[in-house]
Amino acid sequence: MATTNITFGIIGNYCYFPYLVTTGSYVTNFTYSPENTAALDGYTYYVYFSDLAAVVAIETINTLNIFPGVHINVKRFSDCGAYWPTVENDFQGATGGFASSIMMHDILEAHNDVVAVIGLEYSSTARGPAEVLSTNRYRTALDAHKATRVALVIEKGDDLSTQYAADIFSTLQKQGITILATPRITSAMGPTQVQYVRKVLMEVDARYIILCFQSYLGSVLYQQLSELGGVVDENHVWITYSRIALTATNSTTIKQYQNQRGIVYLQNPPPSDNTRWFQTFFSGMQSMGYASNSTFNVWEVQYDTFTANIFDCGMMLALGMKQVLQTVPGATREMLSNKALNGYANFSVFRDLGYEGLMGTPYNILNNNGDLDTPYQFYSFTGNYIYVIQTNSCARRL
């Protein structure tokens, strides 16, 4: 039986890599090497290992012949264009605009072999492989505090932040939560904008505040507000999906820790090394990525679960396409490769594949929002201690 080739596209912020060559949005020379791994710094680390997690999943499908008669190839597309010297200062994760429109054309018109895509981050062009959390998780957190009035502080111009904020706003309103205010600030945040946020929160007497930000800018905003006083204290609760990392600048380490009081951080529980695919995933990440234990280790997986999410996404995408091929009457592998079956690859196909994933408990099942039904952990910082509470398997109850 001849093998049929199909291609999965990987969409990411490849504009952070100075050595990459692009044709349009198509990345032609992305490689894993000891030199490239050693040179990782900041956001390139995230993109590099996120890309690798998707590839490890695809290689697992190919190597173990999980999709008989089909070989999956990979193409990469940048949703922020090619590298430019000031990219780390200029690009803060917002939708790529023109760059994204070029990418859409490339995938749909120039690269007809691409039958599906995996997004390495949340954008309006390609939503991330597994959302950090659904809006129901916020309701669970608010229920735990018996809160009925909240404010949302939003990073304006960042697609991840604004998309989450829109979902959170809509869902909480439907469930009877009053939204007191939604102050927005830009990535070029200065003292005036920080004072503006503080003034708005104090005027509406917001005690529960949801921070819709990327981690870096959210951390800067929170630290500056904590130093100003008035909205970071024992009377306020800050709920966030991005980690708040405070520096010790102008404060002692003890003061830095105390300034985290009131933060409630939400995340998936870390994947267990006892799950079916963990060793396949972890060994693939280290060997293919030329990563030592000092570069990528079990702690990294369990603390930053994005790679586990993306591995699961790649596996589920392939298994879903396989199920379409097996269940659609008259379907052939050739029809799959020329996208004739894409219309059948709807939500119901992927909802329950019987896949024992890294993040599922024990199976990866999607809820009505398209999010993974999985427990969530709430990390509550008191300034002296950290309390960890976990929901039930579908994150409906603490």
Per-residue pLDDT at 260: 66
Q: How confident is the model at residue 257, as a pLDDT?
A: 54
3-state secondary structure of 340: coil
SS3 379: strand
Q: Residue 176 and residue 179: Cα distance in Å, rounded?
A: 9
Query: In whole angstroms, what is the distance from residue 108 CA to residue 240 CA?
Result: 36
- Confidence (pLDDT) at 39: 87
For position 81, what pLDDT does the model report? 87
List the domain boundaries for the chain: 4-130+271-351, 135-267+376-390
**Residues 145-189: pLDDT tens digits?**
567 889 999 988 777 788 778 888 887 888 888 999 999 988 788
Structure tokens at 274: 């006892």
Paired strand residues for 76:
10, 27
pLDDT at 172: 83
Candidates 282, 317, 280; CA nearest to 7 is 317
Query: CB under 8 Å to 229, separation ≥6 — which residues?
Result: none
Structure token digits, residue 303:
């603390």
Q: Classify each residue of 142-164 as buried b or exposed e, where b means 16 or more C-beta atoms within 10 Å of its C-beta.
A: beeeebeebbbbbbbbbbbbbbb
Location of structure tokens 């004072």: 195
Q: What is the DSSP letter of 240?
A: E
Quote the Cα angle for 360-94-135, to 5°. 40
The CATH classification number of 135-267+376-390 equals 3.40.50.2300
CA torsion sign for 239, 245, 249, 255 is positive
DSSP 145-183: HT--EEEEEEETT-HHHHHHHHHHHHHHHHTT-EE----
pLDDT of residue 95: 53
Q: What local confidence, expressed as pLDDT, does residue 363 receive? A: 78
Question: Three-class SS string for 71-137?
Answer: EEEEEEEECCCCCCCCHHHHCCCCCCCHHHHHHHHHHHHHCCCEEEEEECCCCCCCCCCCCCCCHHH
**Contact call for residues 163 and 216 (beta carbons, < 8 A):** no
> Is the fold of 4-130+271-351 the same as that of 135-267+376-390?
yes
- The reported pLDDT for the residue numbered 398 is 44
Residue 338 has a pLDDT of: 92
pLDDT of residue 134: 33
Token duo for residue 233: 């204290």
Angle between helices 159-174 and 135-145 (to 10 degrees): 60
**What per-residue confidence (pLDDT) applies to 133?**
27
Specify burial of residue 193 (Cβ count, 10 A radius: 0-12, 13-18, 19+): middle
At 326, is the secondary structure helix, strand, or coil? helix
Below-50 pLDDT ranges, the chain = 122-136, 248-252, 254, 398
Provide the terminal-to-terminal Cα distance of the chain, rounded to the nearest Å: 52
pTM, two decimals, is 0.78
Q: Is domain 4-130+271-351 annotated with CATH 1.10.8?
A: no
Q: Which amino acid is at 199?
A: K
DSSP 287-322: HHTT--TTTS-HHHHHH-THHHHHHHHHHHHHHHHH
The DSSP bridge pattern shows strands 70-78 and 208-212 to be: unpaired
Quick one: how many helices (H) and strands (E) in the chain? Answer: 14, 13
